[in-house]
Structure 1
Amino acid sequence: MNKKLTYAGIAALLLLVISGCGDKPTAAPANEQGQDSTTVVNGAGSNEGGEGATATATATASPSAQPTEEPTASPAATEQPTAPAKQSKSISVYYTDPQQMKLVPAKTDISYTNDVEKYSEAYKSLQSSSNSDQVPLWGGIELKSLKFTDGQIIMDIHKPDEAQLGAGGEAFAISALVQTLFQFEEVKSIEVLVDGEQAESLMGHVDLEHPFTRENSGL
């Protein structure tokens, strides 16, 4: 009888022990904990490695920015000065008749842009004529240069031997010149040089004034 009770008590005690063991939380195996820890670390490392790889790939794909050269400014087009407009004027010029007996006035038109060109064109008009009754007296005499300063025309001429005239022709030539140029009111005097020098006479018959004025020309 006592043995039965003893066995029953032992059995009850074992049940209590077994029941108590079932209520305690079961600790995770060490291997599983190690695996979980490794997984977390590897996961973090993988993420960081992915970002680094992406940044490296981006840096490789995108070339470093090159400095942009400023475009060289092309020089501004230089404006060409506008040529002055030509003026036209009807003037009187003087020739002689075929017998060289008198001066013959005529009208002609000249075009010019300034005073020097105006007087040069007037002189050119004395050198030619389309009318056989109007004989030019300055046809063979070259105008080398002409200047206009302070109301004075300074003209330098060259007279070849074939342009020589007699006394009457020379007098008419000088009169034709001064009357043609003194019609311009701004002209106060005319200095005639022969090959750059003040000559006593143009053709050896009539004295040259230095300079000619309206008073000493009888105008």
Structure 2
Amino acid sequence: MKKLWLSGLLAILIIAAVGCGQKPEASPQGNDSSSSIQDPVAASPDSNGGGDNAGQGQNGQSGITDPGTSEQLQADITVYFTDNDIMDLKPVERAITYTDANDKYETAFKALQMADEGLISLWDKVELNALDFSKGQLVIDITLPPEARLGAGGESLAIEALKKTMFQFDEVDSIEVTVDGEQLESLMGHVDLDHPIAR
């Protein structure tokens, strides 16, 4: 009777040990698989410097389509070019797509750099370093390589093209143009440059 009781107790202990042994093994496997899925999501906000929403936006399918549907905006704008005579400005209608105010002005500036066939952009060789809009003022920092410099007529038209393009946005009251972070008396050496250029 004692042997039977001891055998039963031993069997119960073995079953309990096997059962307990399997649970810890199953649990880490579950944790490993879930952490391998969650790690990219957890890492994404750290790499982007954003919060939870930024991580979701980068990884999930909804995150890819959300910027396109909820934040993507469109506008019809006018940009200004000149012809081979460089005597006057020619307006050209463009449709732009943007996500926020800074992106809108940057996209408009880039549109100003891409002339239609038969026209010349007065800003195509200019390098845009930074652009920021705050409290009605648009600050544009550029680099002017030698090939971007124009004569007096071209410089005057370039400034006018920039003004007409950016002042079509009602919220822009002034434009501050700097070259490599510096306020210059003249953009290209021929025409006075106001700081800022007022509407």
Same fold (TM over 0.5): yes
Displacement of 1:149 in angstroms is 1.1
Q: 2:7 aligns with which of 47, 54, 57?
A: 57
Q: Report the residue type matching 1:107 in the other structure.
A: E
Displacement of 1:71 in angstroms is 3.0
- After superposition, what is the alpha-carbon deviation per residue over 1:152-190, rounded to whole angstroms, capped at 9, x for unaligned? 111100011111211111100000001100101111111
* SS of residue in 2 equivalent to 1:208: coil
- After superposition, what is the alpha-carbon deviation per residue over 1:85-137, rounded to whole angstroms, capped at 9, x for unaligned? 322211000111210111111111111111111111111111121221x2110
Provide the aligned C-alpha RMSD in A: 1.9
Residue in structure 2 matched with residue 17 of structure 1 by the alignment: none
User: Is 1:80 the equivalent of 2:30?
Assistant: no
- After superposition, what is the alpha-carbon deviation per residue over 1:7-29, rounded to whole angstroms, capped at 9, x for unaligned? xxxxxxxxxxxxxxxxxxxxxxx
Residue in structure 1 matched with residue 132 of structure 2 by the alignment: 147
Q: Report the residue type matching 2:3 in the other structure.
A: A
Number of aligned residue pairs: 163
* SS of residue in 2 equivalent to 1:105: strand
User: Is 1:71 the equivalent of 2:27?
Assistant: yes
Matches within 5 A, 1:87-102: 87-102=73-88
- After superposition, what is the alpha-carbon deviation per residue over 1:56-90, rounded to whole angstroms, capped at 9, x for unaligned? 22123333433454935545844612342322211
User: Is 1:165 the equivalent of 2:150?
Assistant: yes
Structure 1: unaligned runs, 5 residues or longer: 1-50, 215-219
Residue in structure 2 matched with residue 184 of structure 1 by the alignment: 169
Q: Work out the percentage of aligned pairs sharing the same amino acid.
A: 44
Residue in structure 1 matched with residue 48 of structure 2 by the alignment: none
Displacement of 1:53 in angstroms is 2.2
Q: 1:123 aligns with which of 106, 109, 127?
A: 109
Q: Which structure shows the higher helix fraction?
A: 2
Residue in structure 1 matched with residue 60 of structure 2 by the alignment: none
Alignment partners' CA distance in 1, 2:148 and 2:138? 22
Displacement of 1:150 in angstroms is 1.3
Q: 2:121 aligns with which of 132, 136, 140?
A: 136
Structure 2: unaligned runs, 5 residues or longer: 42-54, 58-62
* SS of residue in 1 equivalent to 2:93: strand
* SS of residue in 1 equivalent to 2:194: coil
Q: Report the residue type matching 1:186 in the other structure.
A: E
Alignment partners' CA distance in 2, 1:178 and 1:138? 12
Matches within 5 A, 1:103-118: 103-118=89-104
Alignment partners' CA distance in 2, 1:130 and 1:175? 18
Alignment partners' CA distance in 2, 1:62 and 1:166? 97
Q: Report the residue type matching 1:159 in the other structure.
A: L
Q: Report the residue type matching 1:84 in the other structure.
A: P
